[in-house]
Amino acid sequence: MDSDYGVARELSDLQKLRSQYQPELPPCLQGTTVRVEYGDVTTAADPLGAHTINRTFPNTYGQPLAHFLRATAKVPDAQIITEHPVLRVGVVFCGRQSPGGHNVIWGLHDAIKVHNPKSTLLGFLGGSDGLFAQKTLEITDDILSTYKNQGGYDLLGRTKDQIRTTEQVNAALNACTSLKLDALVIIGGVTSNTDAAHLAETFAERKCPTKVVGIPVTLNGDLKNQFVETNVGFDTICKVNSQLISNVCTDALSAEKYYYFIRLMGRKASHVALECTLQSHPNMVILAEEVAASKLTLFDITKQLCDAIQARGEQDKHHGVILLPEGLIESIPEVYALLQEIHRLLREGVSADKISTQLSPWASALFEFLPLFIRKQLLLHPESDDSAQLSQIETEKLLAYLVEVEMNKRLKEGTYKGKKFNAICHFFGYQARGSLPSKFDCDYAYVLGHIGYHIIVSGLNGYMATVTNLKNPTNKWRCGAAPIAAMLTVKRYGRGHGDSNLGRPALHPAIVDLKGKSYELLRQNATKFLLDDVYRNPGPLQYDGPGADGKPVTLCVEDQDYMGRIKKLQEYLDKVRSIVKPGCSQDVLKAALSAMASVTDILSLITTPSGNIPI
């Protein structure tokens, strides 16, 4: 019911204490002066897709980066925005709820009001459905009072959101026009911000004055690229899950007779599973990206698990904890192919109870091999992006079942002489997403809300709020905005979910980089984690004391300050220009020409699309 949105919550003592916490702002966002410096125009990271993206986004592609600066910054080209007219801004939650979402709205509200108290922030009730129906709630201090630093999306609610079809885009445009909105802020992940990019382009094309702004909020942690280091909610999700996993590890070590198979959320990417492994040190994790890269079959994964259990058994250890990402099931080649056949038959109108008779021979053989409970789950209708309903497929139970069969076989054959294998399965899917957000997510979300205002008042359309240098203290964060079009890629193959987006520029989920420092850290410790039971318990979320300022391990080990590096490069280029001027010596000119020729040759080679390398 619409009347349930925005009502005052009944808060516990801890919630009351958290609601009084005032997030920190970096110096560039403090005060009432907005200073913006524009960098060079942006391009697509994927050179093969650049032409398609440029053609699809003629109005919003190639826009410059924006950097927001402190009032005292001595940057001659920075623009100082002194006029802050009365604004009407709309904000909508899109996609799955993620801890910290409320603080984005709080930060946006505070920034709007501090610059002009007469401005208005309207929240759309019930996600994109509320946007289409123009159902709004005016956000006020009183309404926000019991939602500050709190979890969930219940201030405004959300639906199964998308703004994609012609009817949906037209409904969004009509809502923004009818409500006379200066800006629409979309809070969400890869799908929602893809929609934001397309919506911004449509608005620009149709001369709609409403600016569209994206905010990166998703628990999966898969909205990562050169501009976005991490997402609001990821830190909280991983800390809450890591505590649960650590508790299970302690239980396993105490009872010494169970193997716990724990499936974690994360959709296609395994960022949550990787981060939780580095925080809690379970015995083993199988990442979907590893399985896809090595084309591991169900048999391969089962053997890998059984060999690990046998190795532990030889050390008289008959317990353990194994983490699995929910996207693992789609990364197994033969299971993915089976799912593709099932989804095609479902789209053709074949009823679930008849599908098994219409599968190809090899798919039918695999389907009949699988236990009955998994068969039923594979027959569920796919999501809107054509991926399986991953949260409903109990991969952990499937693997526990296959491992038990194989370990019993080894026991019978005498190749394994340990104790009987016993498994307990869990799915940590919904336990964390309604959690009180961590201090980091409270600060990060609030800052992104403020940046949202800076983007709007700068007149930018189709931009995402960004913060880099996040692993450092808040006063060293760099705040800016990047065109969403610069983050898009064009999918040119049919492997994985979202095949309906082939050829359509989109934000695609960033998968775990198997060449990155985070994965390298996992591999360095894999043997120790497997055999030595070096379980680590980070404890519950902490808001004060030594653990309060902790940040994701995967954020801290990577050197991700892309925006900072771009600025550093600009400083070097400016320095070259200041040194190499008409009148400089021949030696200086020759050295500069030689160095720049080498650099441009290397960069041309790196950025030339594959298959088009000049001879």
Over residues 308-335, the pLDDT tens digits come to 999 999 999 999 999 999 999 999 999 9
Kindly tell me the sign of the dihedral angle through the C-alpha atoms of 332, 334, 337, 341. Answer: negative
Residues whose CB is less than 8 angstroms from the CB of residue 504 and which lie 6 or more positions away in sequence, other chains included: 56, 490, 491
Task: Inform me whether the pLDDT recorded for 266 exceeds 70.
Answer: yes
DSSP 319-374: -EEEEEETTHHHHSHHHHHHHHHHHHHHHTT--HHHHTTTS-HHHHHHHHHS-HHH
pLDDT at res. 609: 60
Task: Inform me whether the pLDDT recorded for 497 exceeds 50.
Answer: no
Q: From CA 491, how far away is CA 505, in angstroms rounded?
A: 7
pLDDT at res. 584: 84
Q: What is the pLDDT of residues 399-437, one digit of tens each?
A: 999 999 999 999 999 999 889 999 999 999 888 989 999
pLDDT at res. 596: 87
Q: From CA 335, how far away is CA 180, in angstroms rounded?
A: 50
Residues whose CB is less than 8 angstroms from the CB of residue 247 and which lie 6 or more positions away in sequence, other chains included: 537
Task: Inform me whether the pLDDT recorded for 538 exceeds 80.
Answer: yes
pLDDT at res. 455: 98
H or E element, residue 14: helix 13-19
Task: Inform me whether the pLDDT recorded for 269 exceeds 60.
Answer: yes
Cβ contact 75:106 at 8 Å: no
H or E element, residue 427: strand 423-428
Beta bridge partners of residue 64, listed in sequence order: 41
Mean pLDDT (the chain) is 92
pLDDT at res. 585: 87
Q: Are strands 478-483 and 463-468 parallel, antiparallel or unpaired?
A: antiparallel
Q: Nearest-5° angle of CA 290, CA 524, CA 418?
A: 80
Number of other CB atoms surrounding residue 115 within 10 Å:
19
Q: What is the pLDDT of residues 174-206, one digit of tens each?
A: 999 999 999 999 999 999 999 999 999 999 999
Give 8-11's long-range contacts (Cβ < 8 A, gap of 24+). 8/145, 8/146, 9/146, 9/147, 9/150, 11/146, 11/150
Tokens of 533: 């039971």
Tokens of 468: 């880099």
Lowest mean pLDDT among 44-58, 78-92, 128-142, 163-177: 44-58
**pTM for the whole structure:** 0.91
Lowest mean pLDDT among 15-19, 82-86, 320-324, 331-335: 82-86
Name the pLDDT band for 613 (thresholds 50, 70, 90): very low
pLDDT at res. 501: 55
pLDDT at res. 561: 66
Q: From CA 236, how far away is CA 436, in angstroms rounded?
A: 8
DSSP 128: H
Q: From CA 97, how far away is CA 86, in angstroms rounded?
A: 30
Please report which residue ranges of 206-287 form alpha helices under DSSP H.
234-255, 271-280
Kindly tell me the sign of the dihedral angle through the C-alpha atoms of 44, 47, 49, 50. Answer: positive
Measured in whole angstroms, how far is the alpha carbon of residue 33 from the centre of its chain?
A: 31
Candidates 306, 224, 304; CA nearest to 268 is 224
Task: Inform me whether the pLDDT recorded for 447 exceeds 90.
Answer: yes
Q: Is 611 left (phi over 0), alpha (psi -120 to 50) or beta?
A: left
Q: From CA 55, how far away is CA 393, in angstroms rounded?
A: 39
Beta bridge partners of residue 260, listed in sequence order: 321, 424
Residues whose CB is less than 8 angstroms from the CB of residue 254 and which lie 6 or more positions away in sequence, other chains included: none
**Which residue did the predictor score with more confidence, 274 or 562?**
274
Q: From CA 541, how far away is CA 17, in angstroms rounded?
A: 14
Please report which residue ranges of 40-126 form alpha helices under DSSP H.
50-56, 101-115
Q: Are strands 120-124 and 320-325 parallel, antiparallel or unpaired?
A: unpaired
DSSP 23-74: ----GGGSSS-EEEEEEEEP--S-TTTHHHHHHH-TTTTTPEEEEEE-TT--
Name the pLDDT band for 560 (thresholds 50, 70, 90): low
Candidates 435, 535, 537, 517; CA nearest to 471 is 517
Question: What does the pLDDT average to over 335-355?
Answer: 92
Q: From CA 187, how far away is CA 409, in angstroms rounded?
A: 51
Q: From CA 47, how far away is CA 556, in angstroms rounded?
A: 29
Q: What is the pLDDT of residues 107-161, one digit of tens each?
A: 999 999 999 999 999 999 999 999 999 999 999 999 999 999 999 999 999 876 7
Question: What does the pLDDT average to over 547-567?
Answer: 83
Q: What is the pLDDT of residues 287-307, one digit of tens each?
A: 999 999 999 999 999 999 999
Q: Which amino acid belongs to residue 474?
A: T
pLDDT at res. 268: 84
